[in-house]
Amino acid sequence: MLQIGLTGLMAARYRLDTASHNIANAHTDGYSRQRVTQSTQFPEYAGFGYIGRGTLLVGVERLYDQFLQGNLLSATTRQAQGEQLKELVAPLNNLVADPDAGLSPALQQFFTAVQEVADNPENVAARQSLLAQGQVLTARFRLFDNRMDEIRQDVEQRLDHVAKQVNVLAKGIAELNQQILRASTRSDEAPPNDLLDQRDQKASELAKLIGIKTVIDDKGMMSVFIGSGQTLVQGVASATLAAASDPADGNHRQITYQFGSGTAQVLPEKLLSGGELGALLAFRREGLDRIQDQLGFLATTFALAFNNQHRQGYGLDGSTNLDLFSGIPATQNFTGSAGSTITVGWAVPLNVAAMQPESYEVRFDGANYTIARTRDGQTLYSGAALPATFQGLTLAGTLAANERVILRPFQAQGGVVGVNLTDPRQVAAAAQDPTTLTGSGPADNVNMLALAALQTNKTLLANASGATATFQTAWSSAVAELGSLARSWQTEASASKALLDQIKAMRDGYAGVNLDEEAANLIEFQQSYQAASKTMQIAQKLFDEVLAIAR
């Protein structure tokens, strides 16, 4: 009887300890509720039947559901990416969509000034106003481009920071794997529940940074996989991620992967979805690169088309063949991954309608060149040599076998465009030299009318039927495209948060600590402790009475 009471006393004590542990960790992130499991001791045969010998403590069970944990990791990754995308795109969308400080008002004001010169070609003040509006417009281009560059620098820095955070957490999971293995060995394979919770919590923190899959082996070790199955953690070892400069693209960092002493490999960014890292890569690819290409495309095509027409006219002083805008380079050199150079220029004769607001990846496999859009990977050209002209561009140069290069002909142009003319008399409004007898004099506005027509003429984005967009409609479409992307990411952020909250509620309902329930358990286990103590007291009294009889 004394032994039976002792087993009950110990069971009640450990239940009290466990309930107290639950209460103490009610607000610990990732903590799973624990409970003592017990069974009956093997009974003793007393001739007429089996008499119970008390209770047996089996272990401390951790309330854990692997299916719920997997869903929680997936939902965490999705929510983290959605929230990051929403936050990343908001300042960019606000920048380009501003109805007062946007590009559309500046374009409209510039063409209004062009029309004023067309109406009064001999008026020097109107010409000066045109140059001033040109300065305003090009300053707006540069302002937008500078702000986008600042956002880009922040994205690149954050890629490096996130990669380092991933490494820290991966190493932490590997170290916990080792601790769990040692603890399980020491305790005859009883699970070290608190260490398991800590490891799951690190996995949840990791899921906020990058999409992961986890697998628990028969030894209790957690393996973590990323991308298309690359091992981030295996047993007590972890891989290293880094944000390294892309030798084929000076504007971008790429994510490299190295496990142990192996060679560092580049991970294709489209495989790295989920979490903050996936959000940064998706925002850079689908949002930032796209809108900066479109901004530079507008600056380039507008300046080239306006200059092309302006060179055909004459200023009040008889000057001709002058560009109104400056800064757009005639050619650009792009360096490939093996050091080769591809030179990109503008087709002659100028064909802005054929140009597209894109960046391109050129690859050479030793036999054929391929040109693909960077934003979606669609192949646009394949052949044994680079085409001399491609979408309004000229291409020159060669690549080594298995070399690649990223061509961004438009992305930087918004930051370099400016106004070339300083003398308002050099604004080429006339079709003939107004200083000669054969000319129409200062009132000649034929060339300025042709320049004014650029506002309404469809000049850009040609298809099989011809050009489809004006400068303003092309930019409006770009702004609308970014706005649609921003709205879709906002919707995804809300939906993913709702899903995560739902799964968290399910997990907390199963494995979370309910303080009311634990308080009730404390009272119950206290009463069990007291009852077991009473059993032992009675057993002691009975024993004392037996001793008294013997005396």
Q: What is the pLDDT of residues 224-269, one digit of tens each?
A: 999 999 999 999 999 999 999 999 998 899 999 999 888 999 999 8
pLDDT at site 439: 60
Going by the DSSP 8-state scheme, the letter that residue 425 receives in this structure is G
pLDDT at site 165: 98
263 and 166 in a common domain: yes
Side chain identity at residue 123, one-letter code? N
- Domain membership of residue 464 (yes or no) is no
333 and 246 in a common domain: no
- Domain membership of residue 317 (yes or no) is no
**What is the band of 442 on the pLDDT scale with cuts at 50, 70, 90?**
confident
- Domain membership of residue 501 (yes or no) is no
Query: Under the phi-then-psi rule, with left for phi > 0, alpha for psi from -120 to 50, and beta for the rest, what region is 7?
Result: alpha
pLDDT at residue 285 is higher than 90? yes
Domain end point (choices 216, 242, 268): 268
Angle, helix 515-550 to helix 2-24, in steps of 10 degrees: 160
pLDDT at site 191: 87
pLDDT at residue 95 is higher than 90? yes
Could you count the other beta carbons within 10 Å of the beta carbon of residue 473? Answer: 15
- Domain membership of residue 340 (yes or no) is yes
User: DSSP assignment of 185-218, as one string?
Assistant: HHTTT---HHHHHHHHHHHHHHHTTS--EEEE-T
Q: What is the pLDDT of residues 78-92, one digit of tens each?
A: 999 999 999 999 999
pLDDT at residue 550 is higher than 90? no
Average pLDDT over residues 531-542: 82
Query: pTM of whole model > 0.85?
Result: yes
What is the rounded distance in angstroms from the CA atom of residue 533 to the CA atom of residue 4?
10
**What is the band of 110 on the pLDDT scale with cuts at 50, 70, 90?**
very high
pLDDT at residue 529 is higher than 90? no
What is the rounded distance in angstroms from the CA atom of residue 506 to the CA atom of residue 502?
6
Q: What is the pLDDT of residues 458-505, one digit of tens each?
A: 999 999 899 999 999 999 999 999 999 999 999 999 999 999 999 999
Average pLDDT over residues 421-436: 93
**How is residue 545 written in tokens?**
């009475």
Considering the chain, what percentage of its residues have pLDDT values greater than 70? 98
Question: Would the CA dihedral through 349, 352, 355, 358 be positive or negative?
Answer: positive
Give residue for tokens 């260490």: 195
Please, which residues have CB within 8 angstroms of residue 526's CB and are 6 or more apart in sequence? 12, 16
**What is the band of 336 on the pLDDT scale with cuts at 50, 70, 90?**
very high
Longest dimension (CA), the chain: 150
Q: Classify strands 379-383 and 369-373 as parallel, antiparallel or unpaired.
A: antiparallel
Average pLDDT over residues 519-530: 89
Q: Considering the chain, what is the average pLDDT of its residues? A: 93
8 Å CB contact between 307 and 419: no
251 and 346 in a common domain: no
Average pLDDT over residues 8-22: 89
pLDDT at residue 537 is higher than 70? yes
Query: Under the phi-then-psi rule, with left for phi > 0, alpha for psi from -120 to 50, and beta for the rest, what region is 334?
Result: beta
**What is the band of 9 on the pLDDT scale with cuts at 50, 70, 90?**
confident
pLDDT at site 531: 87
**What is the band of 364 on the pLDDT scale with cuts at 50, 70, 90?**
very high
What is the rounded distance in angstroms from the CA atom of residue 37 to the CA atom of residue 54?
14
Average pLDDT over residues 385-413: 97
Q: Classify strands 325-326 and 403-407 as parallel, antiparallel or unpaired.
A: unpaired
φ/ψ of 176, rounded to 5, equals -70, -35
248 and 167 in a common domain: yes
Choose the weakest-confidence range: 45-49, 219-223, 396-400.
45-49
- Domain membership of residue 148 (yes or no) is no
Considering the chain, what percentage of its residues have pLDDT values greater than 90? 80
pLDDT at residue 373 is higher than 80? yes
Beta bridge partners of 111: none
pLDDT at site 189: 63
pLDDT at site 3: 79
Q: Please name which of 106, 101, 100, 127 lies closest in space to residue 115, comparing C-alpha atoms.
A: 127
Q: Is 392 helix (H, G, I), strand (E, B) or coil?
A: coil
Higher pLDDT, 327 or 543: 327
Average pLDDT over residues 99-105: 88
Distances (CA, A) of 92 to 96, 277, 484: 7, 19, 13
pLDDT at site 188: 65
Greatest mean pLDDT among 66-70, 188-192, 358-362 lies in 358-362
pLDDT at site 437: 62
- Domain membership of residue 446 (yes or no) is no
Determine the Cα angle at 442 with ends 439 and 445, to 5°. Answer: 85
- Domain membership of residue 403 (yes or no) is yes
What is the rounded distance in angstroms from the CA atom of residue 134 to the CA atom of residue 127?
11
Number of folded domains that form the chain: 3
Q: Please name which of 171, 202, 217, 169 lies closest in space to residue 69, comparing C-alpha atoms.
A: 202
8 Å CB contact between 407 and 293: no
pLDDT at residue 198 is higher than 70? yes
pLDDT at site 382: 97
Beta strand residue intervals within 324-466, DSSP E: 325-326, 331-335, 341-346, 360-364, 369-373, 379-383, 389-390, 393-396, 403-407, 418-419
pLDDT at residue 440 is higher than 90? no
- Domain membership of residue 134 (yes or no) is no
**By residue range, what is the domain housing residue 50?**
2-63+512-550
Q: Is 521 helix (H, G, I), strand (E, B) or coil?
A: helix
Domain end point (choices 268, 288, 317): 268
pLDDT at site 42: 84
pLDDT at residue 12 is higher than 80? yes
pLDDT at site 551: 65
Domain end point (choices 415, 444, 473): 415
